[in-house]
Chain A
């Protein structure tokens, strides 16, 4: 099976702009989660989607939003970008059936806000 894919891999934006990141989960995985990774804060949970519904949300401002499509692909959007939004954004998918719930991560999108 192909792994989790994320596009684009690198992005440079200016303060005040908005950005959309995309994630395709492993085939058969219906849960997609997003994490932000920065040197200071480490990995922080943004949100999780399952069957097109947001199931869980981290402690981030409303500028961060996401959605999931019927094919389980997910997008996250950040509006009114701030310098502090510069980070590696990681998407992860997992199966949601009785079992181990092992999480698999994509390569990430490196966002730089100038």
Chain B
């Protein structure tokens, strides 16, 4: 596609439920990033993929969060047993490779846990 696509754009879920957030990167981009942005804050790094593998998952807050990228393209961020504190905008970005290349961001998924 023309840009990074994230679905859904909005997700409301009940506390304790499981959610999946999807990211479709720009075709050919090998690097993919997930961030979480709370109101008035900068994007908080969660995980970075290079191809199919997680090159750095040090930002995942706990074991309720997990992300996959099985074919090196689409990625899914999975959150188990959601808590109200998980409410935020989840951003995905992709770039050709890491290093100095520009990362392009999607519009984000606004997750609200009620």
Q: Are A and B bound to each other?
A: no
Please list the residues of chain B having a beta carbon within 8 angstroms of any beta carbon in chain A: none
